Amino acid sequence: MPEIRLETYINADIQLVFDLSRSIDLHQISTADTKEKAVGGRLSGLILMGEEVTWQARHFGFVQQLSSRITAFNAPEYFVDEMQRGAFKSFKHEHIFSVNGQGTIMIDVFSYVSPFWILGKIADHLFLKRYMRNLLFKRNLVIKEYAENGIGAELLLR
């Protein structure tokens, strides 16, 4: 099972970073390249324990839908979203937050199982793991930007 681990330092309060990480609205901003939008379940605001969201996006030239549910939640240190339906056989995305000096360390641990057995393993090796790492990296940069420049707090007030 491939695993992607990213660590991002954000010069902002842990609660702000935690909330921005679970914001449906900021997620859509951060995935504008794939035209990702919430089409079912929680459509905006902050997702909570037990809630589900269905995303629609364009990946590899195909419009796809993926539903995930929040399966663990301990504010402001941790939450987990897990795929319920979608293109992967399964995935689990752990979001871990800790205070570091004046800021926050945000850690993503994304583990997944590709469909199609051996073809999925080949895709992982050739491009899928790199593609997923880049998506998560870009998303983290947007969270960092919004948290550090003040517009994140404004977004959460809407």
Q: What are the pLDDT digits (tens) for 49-76?
A: 999 999 998 876 778 899 999 999 999 9
Q: How confident is the model at residue 93 (pLDDT cuts 50, 70, 90)?
A: very high
Which CATH number do you get for residue 117?
3.30.530.20
Element (H, E) at 11: none
Range of the domain at 39: 3-157
Asked whether the predicted pLDDT for residue 83 surpasses 70, the reply is yes
Element (H, E) at 52: strand 52-59
- Locus of tokens 């469909």: 115
State the pairing for strand pair 103-113/3-10.
antiparallel
Q: How confident is the model at residue 85 (pLDDT cuts 50, 70, 90)?
A: very high
The pLDDT assigned to 154 comes to 85
Q: How many domains does the chain have?
A: 1
The pLDDT assigned to 19 comes to 98
